[in-house]
């Protein structure tokens, strides 16, 4: 262990020294090449991190992941329906848990539709989709004041293609944090 540390230290001191020397030697010859001179040596910081810090970073990563999952996990609907499927309800339960763990988070639920229907009716359908998710989250104990809704109808498709796969993807609620 000690030996290794010495080796690292030696390298840390030696490498820039060598680099400085070579760059000085080259300076007169290649005036324009300044990158070598200014690049600091790669510093090995792994030794300085404590176990507690590691855990904190891990927790932060997990929190970020949970937050990302909250934002990126959409719920999906059947054609011309604002009814929550069992799968959508499971997703909403996870979202409710996250919202309880993050009491400061404010959410906008955006309802979306596939483009097979017509624009006007889809604006209404998108709102009903957003409202049914909001009502479900409120039933699970999330305060309604933290949940607002907006409908984009068929105006903001995730997948612009015109097939079953794209339509299924586009009939969704998305959860945006404010």
Partner 1 sequence: MLSIMRRSVLWLVLVLMLLSSAATPASAVDEFIEINPFLKKIPLAIPDFKPLSEGEPAREAADEAARLLAETLSFTGYFNILDKGAYLEDPRETGISDAAINYRNWTVIGAELLITGGVYRSADAVEMELRLFDTFQGKSVIGKRYRGRVEDSRRIVRKFASEVIYFLTGSRGFFNSEIAFVSTGTGNKEIFIAEFDGHHPVQFTHTKDITLSPAWSPDGQWLAYTAYPKNRPFLYVKHRYHKRGYEIGNKGLNITPAWMPQAKPSSSLDDMRLAATLSFAGDQEIYLLTGKGKIIKRLTKSWGSDVSPTWSPDGKKFAFVSNRSGNPQVYIKDLETGRVDRLTFQGRYNTQPSWSPKGDKLAYAGMEGGRNDIFVIGFNGRPPVQLTHDTGNNESPSWSPDGSMIVFSSTREGASRIYVMTAFGTDQRRLLTLPGEQMNPQWSPNKHLN
Alpha helices of the chain — where are they, by DSSP H?
2-27, 35-38, 51-72, 86-101, 119-139, 164-170
Query: What number of chain residues touch partner 1 (CB under 8 A)?
Result: 18
The answer to whether 117 contacts partner 1 (rule: CB under 8 A) is yes
Binding of residue 121 to partner 1 (CB under 8 A): yes
Does 155 engage in binding with partner 1 (CB under 8 A)?
yes
Q: State which residue, 98 or 167, has the beta carbon closest to partner 1.
A: 167
Contact indicator for 91, 75 with CB cutoff of 8 Å: yes
Q: Is 166 in the site for partner 1 (CB under 8 A)?
A: no
CA nearest neighbour of 149 among 130, 124, 135, 126: 130
Choices 33-41, 70-78, 84-92, 145-153; region in contact with partner 1 by CB under 8 A: 145-153
Pair of tokens at residue 69: 């999952």
Residues that bind partner 1 (CB under 8 A): 80, 116-121, 123-125, 127-128, 149-152, 155-156
């Amino acid at each position: 262990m000690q030996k290794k540390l010495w080796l690292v230290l030696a390298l840390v001191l030696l490498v820039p020294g060598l680099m400085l020397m070579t760059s000085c030697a080259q300076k007169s010859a290649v005036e324009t090449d300044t990158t070598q001179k200014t690049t600091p040596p790669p510093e090995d910081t792994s030794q300085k991190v404590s176990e507690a810090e590691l855990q904190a970073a891990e927790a932060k990563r997990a929190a970020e992941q949970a937050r990302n999952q909250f934002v990126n996990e959409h719920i999906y609907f059947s054609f011309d329906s604002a009814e929550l499927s069992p799968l959508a309800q499971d997703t909403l339960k996870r979202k409710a848990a996250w919202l309880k763990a993050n009491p400061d988070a404010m959410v906008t639920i955006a309802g979306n539709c596939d483009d097979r229907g017509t624009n006007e009716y889809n604006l209404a359908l998108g709102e009903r989709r957003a409202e049914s998710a909001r009502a479900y989250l409120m039933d699970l104990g999330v305060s309604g004041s933290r949940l607002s809704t907006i409908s984009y109808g068929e105006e903001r498709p995730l997948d612009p293609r015109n097939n079953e796969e794209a339509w299924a993807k586009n009939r969704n609620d998305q959860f945006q944090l404010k």
